[in-house]
């Protein structure tokens, strides 16, 4: 593998079609497509300031690197990436990619990141700001996530998420086959129009959670007192620990909680309108 160390590149496509190259303490200045149509690239302790540095790259490692604001849309149409201990200040990262392995990564402008990606493995990821992270992605495993981005995990399929703390709005809309363990989910309109969404040992906050859901499952979950109008037009099985403030018009299934503040069943409830709602027997 060729070593390129302590160098600076700028302009357009300075390392186009490079293969089997180790970039160490390299700076990519303003310009476009610095490392395009490449394979087997290792980047350590590098700085990326130009647009679109990694496009159509196959097999690469990025470790202890920094992506400046100017390095936007840096990783698209690529596969077999390992990224570790990296700070990203640029938006629109990770698009149309597969086989991504990230550990200890912080993204300070998580706008439109991880779009239409698949086979994603994440450990200790921090997402700040921006909208729609992970939209249209699938086959995702997460262990350790902090996110205050809006509209996170929309239209996602086949995801397993552990130890997440998510503060958002409209998260997990129209997801399919998603399971979330041991997490804190704070956001309005959580999980609407989902299919096979399962929450295990989770705490839920925000208004009108989990409506229009199909085959929703909650196991050993808790609710913030501000949660109201939960489960409208949903089919579900829910085991709730502690109290839930209000349940409104669930379609079918079984809900059990330690305490239920109120249940709204009005003329707008949808058939079969046979959901069993009950407090746990002491």
The structural domains of the chain, with segments of one domain joined by +, span 1-109, 113-120+130-282
Fold annotation for 113-120+130-282: Pectate Lyase C-like (2.160.20)
Q: Give dist(CA 57, CA 59) in Å, integer.
A: 7
Residue 1 confidence (pLDDT): 85
Q: Give dist(CA 82, CA 115) in Å, integer.
A: 17
Domains 1-109 and 113-120+130-282 share a fold: yes
- The beta-carbon contacts of 51-56 under 8 Å, at least 24 apart in sequence, are 52/76, 53/28, 54/78
Q: How far is the CA of 148 from the CAs of 128, 152, 221, in angstroms?
A: 5, 9, 21
HEC readout, the chain: CEEEECCEEEEECCCCCCEEEEEECCEEEEEECCEECCEEEEEECCEECCECCEECCEEEEEECCEECCCCCCCEECCEEEEEEEEEECCCCCCECCEEEEEEEEEECCCCCCCECCEEEEEEEEEECCCECCCCCCEEEEEEEEEECCECCCCCCEEEEEEEEEEEEECCCCCCEEEEEECCEEEEECCCCCCEEEEEECCEEECCCCCCCCECEEEEEEEECCCCCCECCCCEEEEEEEEEEEEEECCCEEEEEEEEEEEEECCCCCCCCCCCEEEECCC
Contact 95, 72 (CB under 8 A): no
Residue 9 confidence (pLDDT): 93
Classify the C-alpha dihedral 1-75-141-63 as positive or negative.
positive
Q: Give dist(CA 41, CA 22) in Å, integer.
A: 6
Backbone φ and ψ for 14, nearest 5 degrees, come out as -65, -25
Q: Give dist(CA 243, CA 17) in Å, integer.
A: 60
Residue 187 confidence (pLDDT): 87
CATH of domain 1-109: 2.160.20
* Sequential pLDDT tens for the chain (282 residues): 899 999 999 888 998 999 999 999 999 998 889 999 999 999 999 999 988 999 999 999 999 999 999 888 999 999 999 999 999 999 999 999 999 999 999 999 999 999 999 999 999 999 999 999 999 999 999 999 999 999 999 999 999 999 999 998 889 999 999 999 999 999 889 999 999 999 999 999 999 999 999 999 999 999 999 999 999 999 999 999 999 999 999 999 999 999 999 999 999 899 999 999 999 886
The CA angle 220-221-225, to the nearest 5 degrees, is 140
Q: Which two tokens stand for residue 96?
A: 């149309």
Look up tokens 């079984």; give the residue.
254
């Amino acid at each position: 593998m060729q070593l390129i160390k302590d160098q600076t590149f700028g302009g357009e496509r300075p390392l186009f079609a490079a293969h089997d190259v180790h970039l160490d303490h390299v700076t990519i200045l303003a310009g476009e497509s610095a490392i395009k149509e490449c394979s087997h690239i290792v980047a350590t302790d590098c700085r990326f300031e130009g647009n679109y540095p990694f496009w159509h790259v196959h097999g690469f490692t990025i470790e202890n690197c920094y992506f400046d604001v100017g390095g936007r849309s840096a990783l698209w149409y690529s596969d077999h990436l390992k990224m570790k201990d990296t700070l990203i200040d640029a938006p629109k990262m990770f698009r149309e990619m597969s086989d991504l392995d990230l550990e200890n990564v912080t993204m300070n402008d998580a706008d439109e990141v991880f779009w239409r990606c698949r086979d994603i493995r994440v450990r200790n990821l921090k997402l700040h700001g921006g909208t729609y992270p992970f939209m249209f992605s699938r086959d995702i495993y997460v262990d350790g996530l902090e996110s205050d981005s809006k509209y996170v995990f929309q239209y996602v399929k086949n995801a397993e998420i552990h130890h997440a703390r998510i503060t958002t709005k409209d998260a997990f809309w129209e997801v399919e086959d998603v399971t979330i363990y041991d997490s804190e989910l704070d956001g309005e309109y959580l999980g609407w129009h989902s299919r096979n969404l399962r929450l295990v040992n989770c705490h839920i906050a925000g208004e009108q959670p989990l409506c229009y859901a199909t085959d929703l499952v909650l196991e050993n979950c808790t609710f913030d007192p501000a949660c109201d109008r939960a489960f409208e037009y949903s089919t579900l099985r829910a085991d709730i620990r502690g109290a839930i403030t209000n349940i409104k018009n669930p379609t079918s299934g079984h809900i059990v909680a330690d305490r239920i503040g109120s249940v709204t069943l009005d003329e707008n409830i949808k058939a079969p309108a046979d959901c069993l709602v009950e407090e746990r027997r002491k």
